[in-house]
Structure 1
Amino acid sequence: MKQLVKFTTGIILLLTASINGFSQDLHFSQFFNSPLTTNPANTGFIPDGNYRLGVNYRDQWSSIPVPYKTMSAFGDAQLFRDQLTYGWVGIGAVILRDVAGAGNLTSTKGYASIAYHQLMGNSSLLSLGFNAGSANKRVDVTKLVFGDQWNGKFFDAQVPTAEPMASSSANYFDLQVGMNYAYFPTDDIYINAGASVQHVNMPRETFYDGDNRVPRRYIGFLNASLKMSDKVILNPGAYYTRQAHTSQTMFGMNAAYNLSGDGNQQAYGGIYYRTNDAAMFMVGYQLSSVKLMFSYDATTSSLSAANSSRGAYEIGIIYTGLYKNRAFSDAIRSTFCPSF
């Protein structure tokens, strides 16, 4: 009976979340490790390198019947840093895929992005960027049941439904814009803030004959890196997003500890809180140019009654590289953020 109650509660809460969050986009708790989905102005905005590659994987609500799995891969690079004295261009691309729910609702998205970064003196940087791409969303109708298939005792998938679905797939063109500002007055202080708008063109997305539009999504973030000593760098951060009538706020901090003395090996630990939803605990390790982060979301909302607070785990892997034989002006720092 206890398991039945937990199962039923989970289904009810999931249905409620699906209704309230119908228009909500894919997201990662490690927003700082998913730069191109957070803001297109992050394209080529690499404080400690010239190019990077990354992958993210999120497994959410696996303890209840309809889990969510989200994956992404991205890459971006800086261009013309040896030709433009006080600026450069960033180019990049990102692919996302998400599978959710009993009907295997699958979202596949691919974007190409470009940004321009302009140094404003020796201690600040302004960036503008946009991306554009294609999105596909499809559902396996054979795995769904509808209200008219209820026979009084249970849902019978063999009974024909009159649900007016026009298609099991939807495709659309999507567009995002964003802006960043970074301030780095000394080698020990780095502050970065940004804002972006996703779905600027409000594309049509529906499996029916209606004109449902994807609402614009607004994202803002604030990050900092503070070098406390030759052993410790603190990285506080905050993230806010709003889409339609739903918003999300996340804030917290992680710290990097210098294991090798020269910064070649670093250990990470941190904690973040997403208001009215979950606490996120993070650990990580960096060896040379490769950083591996693992985080776990412990549910703090009412859904914890169904999933026993087992929310999601997430993995982020980032590789950051430097160009060989870089030619920069001596007046410009090639690395903006604190480093060991």
Structure 2
Amino acid sequence: MYSQCCKKALLVACCVLLIVSSQAQDLHFSQFFNSPLTTNPANTGFLPDADYRLGANYRNQWSTVMTVPYKTTSIFGDAQLFRDRLENGWLGIGGVILSDVAGSGSLRSTKAYGSIAYHQQLGNSSLLSAGFNVGWANKRIDQSKLKFPDQFDGKFFENPITAVSLTNTSVSYMDVQAGMNYAYFPQENVYINAGYSIQHVNRPKETFFNDNTNQGRIPMRHIGFLNAILKVNERVIINPNAYFTTQAKSSELVVGLNGNYNLSEYGEKQLVAGLYYRLGDAIAPMVGFEVNNIKFTFSYDVTVSGLNQFNGYRGASEISIVKKGLYPQHGDRQTMCPSFY
């Protein structure tokens, strides 16, 4: 029992160090494909089967390790403009709001981004897109709720004195991201696209300490993904994905597959299921359903790394809701990707 308490105490201490460090990884979702604007701003209005999209994501992480789990929420929306006015192209506009609470409210993050992208068809079977977003980010911390390693007495964090002193408890800054996408759709049953983006292009400064140097600047984050939508038969469409990101000395690779099974004549009702693997960390099975272009999915991260001895294989749960639609005048527009219609 004592050994287990020590291990948990050390884990908590590590989490605290990550909280006050500016080198920690950005917010992310296991269902990255359901958070398009945080993956790549060129995804803004990048809708092969719709004119607009609205969505929300919620992630609950480390509920078995932390007294109060990490909670991340996002809402987003994007739409196509001038599709009938620009020759073989259109403009995409959108926005996303992110909120994150780390632990017992010790660290709170709020971010809001507005994004714009331009999409140009290259012939009849490919599409090239480029976009960027600009946003405002704020992080605030309540030091009275934090416990630092020098407050650990061997059993508990009971020592009231700590050598850590935070100069600021709230920091705000402007943030910029940019990216590109390419899609290839040689026939109605095949759609492939890939994208690359850079986050924190302006390398904003984020620190709670009194630091007049260039330290504390957020490292640029690079994200690449590869996606395919393939219609296997009249009832099944599969969607293999690969996602890679690197920031500072950290990296993450996610690969997997999800599929839609048609339960109705024209795809009004679909069953969704999938499985993803985050290299060296977790397996994330996913289930859901889609009704009248509203898709609901639930995934759960099953920890396979050494952390499973602390959390009992229970990592994070995630819920996503995405609504797509066509403008009334575009009700009969042909889609660029496989569909059940």
Q: TM-score range by the shorter chain?
A: over 0.9
Answer whether contact 1:23 1:215 (CA < 8 A) is retained. Answer: no
The equivalent of 1:40 in structure 2 is 41
**How many angstroms apart in 1 are the aligned matches of 2:59 and 2:223?**
20
Shift of 1:9: 2.5
SS of equivalent residue, structure 2 residue 202: coil
Answer whether contact 2:16 2:147 (CA < 8 A) is retained. Answer: no
Q: 1:156 to 1:289 in 2, by over 3 A?
A: same
1:140 matches 2:142: yes
The equivalent of 1:185 in structure 2 is 186
Deviation readout 1:190-222 (Å, 9 max, x if unpaired) = 001000000000000000012410000000000
**How many angstroms apart in 2 are the aligned matches of 1:84 and 1:110?**
29
SS of equivalent residue, structure 1 residue 171: strand
Q: CA RMSD in A?
A: 2.0
Shift of 1:150: 5.4
The equivalent of 1:227 in structure 2 is 231
The equivalent of 1:336 in structure 2 is 336
Letter aligned with residue 183 of structure 1: Y
Q: 1:317 to 1:153 in 2, by over 3 A?
A: closer
TM-score for both structures, normalised by structure 1: 0.93
The equivalent of 2:7 in structure 1 is 9
SS of equivalent residue, structure 1 residue 24: coil
The equivalent of 1:266 in structure 2 is 270
The equivalent of 1:124 in structure 2 is 126
Deviation readout 1:143-184 (Å, 9 max, x if unpaired) = 11335545687544644x442311111111100000000000
1:322 matches 2:326: yes
Q: Give runs of aligned pairs for residues 242-253 of structure 1, distance below 5 A.
A: 242-253=246-257
Q: Give runs of aligned pairs for residues 269-308 of structure 1, distance below 5 A.
A: 269-308=273-312
Letter aligned with residue 29 of structure 2: F
| Structure 1 residues without counterparts, runs of 5 or longer | none
Q: Please, which moves more after superposition, 141-150 or 34-43?
A: 141-150
Shift of 1:335: 1.0
Answer whether contact 1:196 1:220 (CA < 8 A) is retained. Answer: yes
Letter aligned with residue 242 of structure 2: A
Deviation readout 1:81-120 (Å, 9 max, x if unpaired) = 0101200000000000111134521111000000000000
| Structure 2 residues without counterparts, runs of 5 or longer | none
Letter aligned with residue 188 of structure 1: N
SS of equivalent residue, structure 1 residue 325: helix
Q: Please, which moves more after superposition, 239-248 or 206-215?
A: 206-215
Deviation readout 1:261-294 (Å, 9 max, x if unpaired) = 2111000111010001000000010001100010
**How many angstroms apart in 2 are the aligned matches of 1:337 and 1:232?**
14
TM-score for both structures, normalised by structure 2: 0.93
Overall identity of the aligned pairs, in %? 57
**How many angstroms apart in 2 are the aligned matches of 1:293 and 1:134?**
29
**How many angstroms apart in 2 are the aligned matches of 1:12 and 1:194?**
39
Q: 1:82 to 1:307 in 2, by over 3 A?
A: same
Q: Please, which moves more after superposition, 174-183 or 208-217?
A: 208-217
Answer whether contact 1:103 1:144 (CA < 8 A) is retained. Answer: no
SS of equivalent residue, structure 2 residue 83: coil
Size of the aligned set, in residue pairs, is 333
Answer whether contact 1:13 1:303 (CA < 8 A) is retained. Answer: no
Q: 1:146 to 1:124 in 2, by over 3 A?
A: same
Answer whether contact 2:6 2:154 (CA < 8 A) is retained. Answer: no
The equivalent of 1:55 in structure 2 is 56
SS of equivalent residue, structure 2 residue 280: coil
The equivalent of 1:213 in structure 2 is 217
**How many angstroms apart in 2 are the aligned matches of 1:215 and 1:265?**
43
Shift of 1:64: 1.3
The equivalent of 2:76 in structure 1 is 74
Answer whether contact 1:231 1:261 (CA < 8 A) is retained. Answer: no
Answer whether contact 2:151 2:159 (CA < 8 A) is retained. Answer: yes
Q: Please, which moves more after superposition, 117-126 or 12-21?
A: 12-21
Answer whether contact 2:269 2:290 (CA < 8 A) is retained. Answer: yes
**How many angstroms apart in 1 are the aligned matches of 2:292 and 2:223?**
31
Q: 1:139 to 1:87 in 2, by over 3 A?
A: same
Answer whether contact 1:282 1:296 (CA < 8 A) is retained. Answer: yes
Letter aligned with residue 185 of structure 1: P
1:99 matches 2:97: no
